[in-house]
Structure 1
Amino acid sequence: MQLASSLFSTFITLLITIGPVETAIVFAGLTAGVHHAARRRLAAQAILIAGFVLLLFALAGNAVLGLLHISLPAFRVAGGILLFLQALTLTFSSPGLSSISESEKSDALRPGNIAVFPLAFPLIAGPGALSAAVLLMGRAQTIGEAAGVPAMILVCLLLTWLAMFAAERLLRLLGETGADVVSRISGILLAALAVQFVFDGLAEGPFRFA
């Protein structure tokens, strides 16, 4: 029961920070007029690149923190604050930390491989998703929970690829209002998860609750 609850929490956190719907919407705009075969190739490349980085952060992130002499409680507080900022932008329907600005969108429209930028970075493997991968792996207390983090990353990446594959139909189905509702609900859930990460970090750090 505890493992199932942990896996569900991990899945929701990664799903919100990776943002399949948000990614699909931006992907549809960037690849408008591109042949379907080329779009599928770009989507697959972006997923593979982002997946490699996310898995690398999940598996090696805590070791890097140790080399930098950064405690896990400190990173939990910092990561929780970062996720909370992303939650605020989602809730108030402004571009999140994993979105792209207008200048970045202009750069993406120039000749080049958009699978790396901006699709893989910062849309899929953005600061929020990378922080979440490290935080979730650091929270794992059993082998099952530790194995569940990479597994949930792969599941979320699969959902993201499916959303990108069906981006045009998804846009027609949701519309602007539907996408806005999904964004706001995701922001509220992510805010609660972010605050919990901060509480966990404070509880394990030097300023433990009485």
Structure 2
Amino acid sequence: MFNIKEIASVTLILFSVIDVIGSLPVIIDLRKKVGKIESERATFVSGALMVSFLFVGERLLKLFGVDVASFAVAGALIIFLIGLEMILGRTIFKPDESSTGGATHIVPIAFPLIAGAGTLTTLISLRAEYQTANIIVGIILNLFLIYAVLKSSGWLETRLGSGGLAVLRKIFGIILLAIAIKLFKTNLLSEL
């Protein structure tokens, strides 16, 4: 049932898509504006969103008459664009800036920064290729990483510096491009 290779792949894919390290500048800026980020609550809400969409997302697709392979191809395109964003340093997906100070842990951190459109699309795409149990383990491992990054954002800012953050973002961007191409090939061929 549990497959270490699948868990490692899912964990890396989700970590790349969520890009909590690449989001550090946004998280640090938000922390400076509001004083404190509720790391526990942000992690819990984003985890609940991801797990819920993993199970309910496919039913939503059936409601609209879309199969998982087609959604996976659409997800691959989104992952590809996110990878391009990370490599080129250009913003394709504009963040929602309608957040209020009272819900800082939910908007914009839990949603859309962590469990945004790219993450939710990726979960459905992963479901077409990996076992659900392995995806859940990958989500849980990422939640630990997300919590650690949120909790230590100030420390990470001083240690990595802007150059270190830029390098990490580019590396994960290249990984995402390769993943997107693999998902596109696999699911497009299954449709033909």
TM-score scaled by length of structure 2: 0.91
**Aligned pairs, how many?**
191
Match among 47, 54, 57 for residue 50 of structure 2: 54
CA distance in 1, matches of 2:23, 2:105: 12
Check the 8 A contact 1:19/1:160 in 2, yes or no. Answer: no
Once the two structures are superposed, the pairs formed by residues 132-171 of structure 1 within 5 Å of their partners are 132-140=122-130, 145-171=131-157
Match among 98, 115, 119 for residue 129 of structure 1: 119
Distance verdict in 2 for CA 1:159–1:32, change over 3 Å? same
SS at match of 1:22: coil
Check the 8 A contact 1:25/1:167 in 2, yes or no. Answer: no
CA distance in 1, matches of 2:65, 2:101: 41
Residue in 1 that maps onto 2:95: 100
Are 1:66 and 2:62 matched, yes or no? yes
Check the 8 A contact 1:23/1:164 in 2, yes or no. Answer: no
Structure 1 runs of 4+ off > 4 angstroms? none
Query: How much does 1:33 deviate?
Result: 6.5
Residue in 1 that maps onto 2:28: 28
Residue in 1 that maps onto 2:188: 202
CA distance in 2, matches of 1:33, 1:193: 35
Runs (5+) with no aligned partner, structure 1 = none
CA distance in 2, matches of 1:197, 1:33: 39
Are 1:184 and 2:170 matched, yes or no? yes
Query: How much does 1:164 deviate?
Result: 0.9
CA distance in 1, matches of 2:156, 2:90: 20
Query: How much does 1:22 deviate?
Result: 2.5
Residue in 2 that maps onto 1:113: 103
SS at match of 1:148: helix
CA distance in 2, matches of 1:131, 1:33: 30
Runs (5+) with no aligned partner, structure 2 = none
SS at match of 1:139: coil
Check the 8 A contact 1:24/1:160 in 2, yes or no. Answer: no
Query: How much does 1:18 deviate?
Result: 1.1
Query: How much does 1:34 deviate?
Result: 5.2
Residue in 2 that maps onto 1:172: 158
Residue in 2 that maps onto 1:80: 76
